Amino acid sequence: MCFGMMKEHRPTTGEVVAFDGSILYLPKRLEEAVLLSPVEYCSTFFVHMRLNYNGLLTFSSDISDFSCCFPLIPSLCSRVMKLLGLKLVGRNHYDPNAVVILGKHRLQVWPGYSTSIKHTDGGLYLIVDISHKVLRNDSVLDVMNLFYQGSRESFQDVCTKEFVGSIVITRYNNRIYRIDDIEWSKSPKDTFTLANGTVTTFVDYYRKNYGITIKELDRPLLIHRPNERSKPEGKLSESVKLVNLYYSGLFRTVRLVFQDLTMHINVGAKQHTQSLKQLLHNINSNNEAVSELACWGLSISQEILVTQGRTLPSENICLHSASFVISPSVDWSREVVRDPSISTVPLNCWAVIYPRRATDQAEELVTTFTRVAGPMGIRIERPIRSIHSQLTSEVGSELHSEIPMCIMIGNRDDLYSAIKKLCCIQSPVPSQAFNVRTISQPQKLHSIAQQILLQINCKLGGELWTVNVPLRYLMVIGVDVHHDVSKKSRSVMGFVAKIKMLCLHVYGSEHFGTPSPGTVLDHTVTNRDWVDFYLMAHSIRQGCGLPTHYIAVYNTANLTPYHLQSLTYKICHLYWNWPGTIRVPVLRKYAHKLAFLSGQYLHSEPAIQLSEKLFFL
């Protein structure tokens, strides 16, 4: 509303303006206070606006003095993107003219960009990345109708589980909302009060303001509760009632379209670079965009920044009696199963619990275990077998074993949650649970059995591999928070830490491509006031990899930047659930796994008896 009304006052403000919704930036100074003439809004009421002078921002050729003008730059960038015909959806800009239609999945993919301005060691930079917005052709009402036809008795429960916490978009103004609740007792026929005191129905409001005719008058209202910063101006003081919504993203129950989506979303480094260059070309070839920037004494380079990084030395992976230097692909999945791990825990008393329909797969898995365990240094006895009709009761009867291994049929989050609650809270014992589909492909069973055994060894307290960390008496800590999307006020923090005296074991031509693992960049694009660096620790097989940005908040050990970088890279090698490097330090990854398990399935703190084991893998 403010943006539209501000245009009516261009004779007063001038054509060159930058407005972010609350602060107006002008290249000329107005009086201390300017009362603008009233503007009629929606043929309903008049709005009075008053401009108050807050201060003067002075441009300087010295980039160190440019920080005072930072609030202005994002407004200018948003204005430039709009001049290019891009639409603001959420925080990013998308091109509605380049939409990719996935007809058989009833999906649309909007390509776009995320932009920000960063003041770095090398100067003032426009940070651009490719973004994609996935939209469904089905409205939320269409999906509700499908749910109603499928199960009328549990209709409201199914809708609440599917919609609450999901992200939707209003096509009439491209606004994104998070659904916080569903008001089944209300409908578009209900009334609410406008900012000017007028009482109107939702039907009339949407017809007058957006030209939308609501035909389904008995539909429930979806509720969005904004925080204080994003609270809309005018209409509702506590919550926003929404109609005519479309899904942004995928259903939680529909994941089979990922393969088709990947072709359009997970682009390679070359295509990634071409898209960024195309944006710079579009900006510099658009006269209005160039003029808008020039009015403020700014311009954007036609080339992306090309700089040089460093590659850290390859690490030496140590097993029990063997060691090897990792390959450039940083994948040691073959080496880690050819020799014994650092320490292994024998499987003397363990149980396999499975339904009768999975008997063949379970028997074949156990047989494969006995074949692959020897080279890995794991001693394994025949398990206790239990064919279940009620899985949780069978698990309860086998809790005296070292680790119950449960094989499930179908996508049963409720069953998985029940197993984990039983084994992590009520009767603490490490557990292994997976879907029968995981072991249903004979050609992959050998490698899958090896992976499962390695994971079981970790959960029982075994140690797989390590790297040489020269620092002594070093504690590594990982912290992560899981937010429950269905219950906004519920969050769970995972905290994992480990200390060892020798720190051997740590747990709790122009060519654009993804940098090789171990690449570090600590200049030009880093912050002038921080000790920070970018590290590409992992390898990717598809798409364009992104480095991780690290900031040294405290450094009481007085480690040099190189030592900080080297230590960080070493710790990225120690995630025992994957024989390769990962994007973040291992303790941070473990904390994420712990927080996710506790928040998503346990809804409680795990038993203290499991705190010394990686039971959450």
Q: Which architecture, in CATH terms, is 69-305?
A: Beta Complex (2.170)
Q: Which two tokens stand for residue 565?
A: 């970088």
Nearest CA among 294, 295, 273 for reference residue 284: 294
Matching residue, tokens 């008058």? 217
* Segment 64-80 mean pLDDT: 71
Select, from the ranges 86-90, 233-237, 300-304, 368-372, the one with the highest average predicted confidence (pLDDT): 368-372
Gap between the terminal Cα atoms of the chain:
50
Nearest CA among 433, 424, 590 for reference residue 505: 590
Tell me the per-residue pLDDT of 384-441, one tens digit each, with 9 for 90 and over. 877 765 666 666 665 667 888 888 887 778 888 888 888 888 888 899 999 898 998 8
Note the pLDDT of residue 511: 47
Q: Strand 245-248 vs strand 123-139: parallel, antiparallel, or unpaired? A: antiparallel
Cα 144 to Cα 140: distance, rounded to the nearest angstrom: 6
Tell me the per-residue pLDDT of 544-577, one tens digit each, with 9 for 90 and over. 778 888 988 888 888 898 999 899 999 899 899 8
- pLDDT at 363 > cutoff 60: yes
Note the pLDDT of residue 45: 63
Nearest CA among 507, 462, 457, 508 for reference residue 350: 457
Domain range 474-610, its CATH number among 3.30.420.10, 3.40.50.720, 3.30.200.20, 3.40.50.300:
3.30.420.10
Burial class (CB in 10 A: 0-12, 13-18, 19+), 577: middle
Q: Strand 351-355 vs strand 404-408: parallel, antiparallel, or unpaired? A: parallel
CA triple 333-320-506, angle to 5 deg? 75
Higher pLDDT, 251 or 426: 426
Tell me the per-residue pLDDT of 3-52, one tens digit each, with 9 for 90 and over. 666 666 666 776 767 777 777 777 777 776 776 666 665 556 667 777 77
Least confident span in 9-23, 90-104, 365-379: 9-23
Higher pLDDT, 7 or 279: 279
Domain range 344-459, its CATH number among 3.20.20.70, 3.40.50.2300, 3.30.70.2190, 3.30.390.30:
3.40.50.2300
Q: Where exactly are the structural domains of the chain?
A: 1-56, 69-305, 344-459, 474-610
